[in-house]
Amino acid sequence: MSSVLKFYSDTDLGAIEARPFKVFNERSLEKIPQLAKLTEAQRFEMKVVASVLPFRVNEYVINELIDWSDIPADPIFQLTFPQKGMLAPESYERMAELHRRGADKAQISALAKELRDGLNPHPAGQLEMNLPRVNGEVVEGLQHKYRETVLFFPSQGQTCHSYCTFCFRWAQFVGDKDLRIASNQKDQVLGYLREHPQVTDLLVTGGDPMVMKTKNLAQYLEPLMEDDSLAHVQTVRIGTKALTFWPYRFVTDNDADELLGLLTRLVKSGRHVAIMAHYNHWRELETPIAREAIRRLRETGVEIRSQGPLLAHINDDPAVWARLWKTQVQLGIIPYYMFVERDTGARHYFEVPLAKAANIYREAMKQVSGLGRTARGPSMSAGPGKVEIQGVAEIQGEKVFVLRFIQARNPDWVQRPFFAKYDEQATWLNHLKPAFGEEKFFFEDEYEAMQAGSG
Ligand code: SF4
C-alpha cells in the first residue's frame, strides 16, 4: 500500500482487494506509522485535542486518501485528524497542562466533559424539540422535526468508520450516554410510523447506519416491504459516509452482497431509496474502490445524493466544489446540498462567514453544467428549519441577504423569501438581523411559541 495519493481517472478494478478493517483511536494514535514523520510537538497537540473531541480513523483513509507529503494542509488529514486550533486557546492550554503533568484518567475525563459541555453538543434544539412520543412516552432514537420526515438513529449505527473532525453529531461518539440519541426499540419505532400516516420519508441516520451488519439494518427495513400498515413510508433515505470512509462495505465486506440485495428488494417494492452520501472533497471519489462501490450501489436502483458542509481548511474554495459536483455527475451521483457548518463542536475552526459561503457557492455553480446545479445551499440546518442563503442583493439602497426556508417546522414558511441585513462576519442564522428596519423575522413569534410549547 502506498502512502502517496493516487489519482484515478477511471475505475481500475484490478486494483481492488478486500482488506481488513483496521481502526485507530485516541488511545492508539501513536501507533499510526505515518505520524512518526511529525514532530513530537505536533503529536502532543493531537493527543490533547483527541482527549476532548472524538477521533477515529481507519487504515484505508490513512493509506489511500491522505497525501502525507502535504501535511497538515491536506484536506482529508484536516477532515480526520485533530488539529490544535480545533480547541479554543484557553481550553487547549488547560488540557495540555493536564497531559504535561501526567494527570490521571479521571482528571482528564472531567475536564474533557467540562469542555465538551461548552461546545453546544446538541445544536438546533435536537434534544428538546424533536422528540416524538407515543402515549406520552418519548420514543427513543427518533426525531420528528418536519411533518413528512422522521429521522431514525438505530442504536447499532451510532458510530462511523472514521470520524470527521467537524462532526455536528460528535456528542454521540464521546461516550456520554446523556448526549446520545439512539434506539434499539424496533417495535416502538415501527409503531410510531404506523401511527403517523403523514410520514412519507424515513431517514435512517447515525453515526453511520452502514456500520451496521446487513441483518441489523434488515430488521428495520424488511417490515416496510411486508407490512401494509407501513405503506405510507414511500421514501427511505440512508445517510452515510461509508462511500468515503469504507467503500469496501459495498464491495468486499462479508455481507456486502446481502446489503445490495436488501436495497434491491426495497427498490423493487416500489420505494424510492436514496443513499444520502456525505462528501466534502472530490478526492474522496478518486480511488478505484470508491468508484466500484458507487457503481454497485447504483446497480441496485437506489439514487445517490450528495451533501456536505462548507468548511475552512477543507473545501472553502469554489474550484473544490466545482470539481466535486462535476465528478459526482459523471459518476451518476446527484449533488443535493451544500451545508453551512453547524454551531457546535469545533465550529470556530471550520466556520466560513455566510457572505463568503454564498460567494463560493455561486462561483462553483458558475463552473458546472445544469446537472451539477441541483445542489442547494449554502443551507443552515437551524432550529426553525433549513434556511438557504439565496444570494446578496441591494434593495432600496440596503444591502441584504436573500433567504428562504427549504424546509421548516411549519410547512407554510417554506419558499417564502425573507431578508436579512448584509453582515460580512455572520456565520449563522442567529447572527442575522431583519432588513428594512423590521424587528423580527416573519417566523420568529411562531417559532418561540413552538419552543415554549415543547418543554
Ligand atoms: S460521517 Fe457524519 S456522523 Fe460520522 S463523523 Fe462524519 S459527520 Fe459525523
Q: What are the backbone angles phi and psi of residue 138, rounded to the nearest 5°?
A: -70, 130
**Residue with CA at minimum distance from ligand 1 atom 7:** 167
| Predicted local distance difference test score (pLDDT) of residue 175 | 59
- At residue 266's C-alpha, the angle toward residues 261 and 267, to 5°, is 100
Q: Give the atom of ligand 1 at the shortest distance from the alpha carbon of 163.
A: 5
Given this model, what pLDDT does residue 126 score? Answer: 54
> From CA 21, how far away is CA 3, in angstroms rounded?
17
d(CA 11, ligand 1 centre) in Å? 26
Phi, psi (rounded to 5 degrees) for 239: -80, 130
Tell me the best of 163, 165, 245, 310 to mutate to test the pocket of ligand 1, counting ligand atoms within 8 Å of each CB and taking the most.
163
For ligand 1, pick from 164, 210, 284, 339 the residue to mutate: most ligand atoms within 8 Å of CB.
Answer: 164
CA–CA distance, 192 with 172 (Å, rounded to integer): 23
Give 341's contacts (C-beta < 8 A, 6+ positions apart): 166, 168, 309, 310, 311, 347, 350, 351, 352, 427
Q: How far is the CA of 226 from the centre of ligand 1 (A)?
A: 31
Compute the distance from residue 396 Cα to the ligand 1 centre, in Å.
Answer: 43
Q: Nearest-CA neighbor of 154 among 197, 191, 207? A: 207
| Separation of CA 369 and ligand 1 centre (Å) | 29
Q: How far apart are CA 26 and CA 57, in angstroms?
A: 10
> 230: which 3 cell numbers?
407501513
Pocket test for ligand 1, best of 181, 241, 310 (most atoms within 8 A of CB): 241
Question: What is the Å distance from ligand 1's center to 332 Cα?
Answer: 23
* Whole-number Å distance between alpha carbons of 323 and 436: 38
**Residue 24 is placed in which grid cell?**
485507530
- Whole-model pTM: value is 0.91
- CA 239 to centroid of ligand 1, rounded, Å: 9
Ligand 1 atom having least distance to the Cα of 239 = 2
| CA end-to-end span of the chain | 54
User: How many CB atoms neighbour CB 281 within 10 A?
Assistant: 23
Query: Rounded distance, CA 279 to CA 341, Å?
Result: 13
Q: Residue 158 Cα, ligand 1 centroid: separation in angstroms?
A: 10
The closest of 364, 395, 394, 393 to 377, measured between CA atoms, is 364
Task: Tell me the CA–centroid distance for residue 211 and ligand 1, in Å.
Answer: 12
DSSP string, 176-220: -GGG---B--HHHHHHHHHH-TT--EEEE-SS-GGGS-HHHHHHH
Q: Which protein residues touch ligand 1 with a CB less than 6 Å away?
A: 160, 163-164, 167, 169, 206-208, 241, 278
Give the pairing of strands 418-421 and 398-408. Answer: antiparallel
Ligand 1 atom closest to the CA of 207, numbered from 1: 3
Q: Are 341 and 309 in contact (CB under 8 A)?
A: yes
pLDDT of residue 186: 81
Shortest-distance Cα residue to atom 1 of ligand 1: 241
Tell me, in angstroms, the distance from the centre of ligand 1 to residue 208's CA: 7
Q: Decide if 344 contacts 123 (C-beta within 8 A).
A: yes
Residue nearest (by alpha carbon) to ligand 1 atom 8:
167
Q: Give the pLDDT confidence score for residue 127 in this predicted structure.
A: 53
In the DSSP assignment, the letter for residue 303 is E
C-alpha triplet 193, 194, 199: angle, nearest 5°:
45
- Distance (Å) of CA 345 to CA 49, 273, 330, 349, 381: 12, 31, 34, 9, 15
Distance of CA 310 from the midpoint of ligand 1 (Å): 14
Q: What is the pLDDT of residue 16?
A: 78
Cα 436 off chain centre by: 35
DSSP for 422-439, written as a single string = --SS--SGGG--BSTT-S
List all residues 6 or more positions away from 110 whose beta carbon is below 8 Å from its beta carbon.
Answer: none
Contact status, residue 52 vs residue 87, Cβ threshold 8 Å: yes
Cα separation, 293 vs 251, in Å, equals 6
Q: What are phi and psi of 16, to 5 degrees?
A: -90, 125
CB 337 within 8 A of CB 375: yes
Question: Residue 170 CA: which ligand 1 atom is closest?
Answer: 8
The Cα diameter of the chain in Å comes to 64
Q: What is the β-pairing status of strands 398-408 and 149-152?
A: unpaired
- CA–centroid distance, 241 to ligand 1, in Å, is 7
CA count, 13 A, side-chain hemisphere, 288: 10
Q: What is the pLDDT along the chain (455 residues), one digit of tens a residue?
A: 333 344 444 455 666 788 899 999 999 999 999 999 899 999 999 999 999 998 999 999 999 999 999 999 999 999 999 999 999 999 999 999 999 999 999 999 999 999 988 888 777 555 556 678 776 777 778 888 888 999 998 888 889 999 999 886 777 676 555 445 555 568 888 999 999 999 999 999 988 999 999 999 999 999 999 999 999 999 999 999 999 999 999 999 999 999 999 999 999 999 999 999 999 999 999 999 999 999 999 999 999 999 999 999 999 999 999 999 999 999 999 999 999 988 777 888 999 999 999 999 999 999 999 999 999 999 999 999 999 999 999 999 999 999 999 999 999 999 999 999 999 999 999 999 999 999 999 999 999 999 887 64
pLDDT of residue 15: 63
C-alpha cell at 8: 484515478
Q: Whose CA is nearest to atom 5 of ligand 1?
A: 163
